[in-house]
Amino acid sequence: MLLTNEEYQKLEQSKASYTNRCKTRFNKRRYNHINNDHIRMFYEKHLLASQYNDKLFEIKYKNKFTLYLFIYLKSIAEPFTHQDNITFTVSQPIAVNISEISRLAGTGRNTVKRSLKELIQLGLLLEMIPEIRKRHFELKQVMLLNDYHLKGYSKKFKRILY
C-alpha cells in the first residue's frame, strides 16, 4: 500500500493523538502518581529521571502498579551488550526482590507479584528459566525488553509489538 506524504502525516498525527488520549485516560485513573501520595513519592524518588516511551500508555493494564514496576526495572537495568542505556534492546538479567520493591513503593507484595506476572504475559519482561529456582523464596531473574523499540500493542493477542 502506497501512501503520499500528506496521508503519512495524517496517519502520524492520528497515532500521536491516540497516544495522547491514552495518556490522558491513564492520568484520570484513581491510582497513579498524580493522585496517590505513595506512588508520587516512589515516582519522584526512583522514576522521575527515567525515560520511557509514551506508547506504554496504550496498553490497558489489569494491575494499577504494572507501568510503575516496568519503569522502575528499566531504571535499574543494564544493557546486555555494549550499547547505551537508552537504545539497548535486551537488558542483563535483573534479580527482582518483590519485598524490597513493595517496601520502596508502599504497596503490597501481592500487587508487585501480579504486576510482575502481567509484565511477563505482555512480553515486556522475559523470565529466565523458572526451573532453576530451587526454593520458592529465591529472587526471580528477568530480562527487560526496552520500550524504545516498542511499536504498539495488539489488543487481539494482548501482547506488545516490537
pTM comes to 0.82
pLDDT reported for residue 8: 86
Rounded Cα gap, residues 30 and 68, in angstroms: 14
Quickly state the pLDDT bin for 133 (edges 50, 70, 90).
low
Say how many Å lie between the first and final Cα of the chain, rounded: 21
User: Which has the higher per-residue pLDDT, 134 or 14?
Assistant: 14
- The tens digit of pLDDT for each residue in 108-120 reads 899 999 999 999 9
Rounded Cα gap, residues 112 and 98, in angstroms: 6
Domain ranges of the chain: 5-161
Q: Where are the beta strands (DSSP E) in the chain?
A: 94-96, 125-127, 140-144, 152-154, 159-161
Q: What is the mean pLDDT of the chain?
A: 82
Rounded Cα gap, residues 153 and 127, in angstroms: 20
Q: Is the pLDDT of residue 135 over 70?
A: no
pLDDT reported for residue 110: 92
CB 98 within 8 A of CB 105: no
pLDDT reported for residue 3: 76
Give the CATH number of domain 5-161.
1.10.10.10
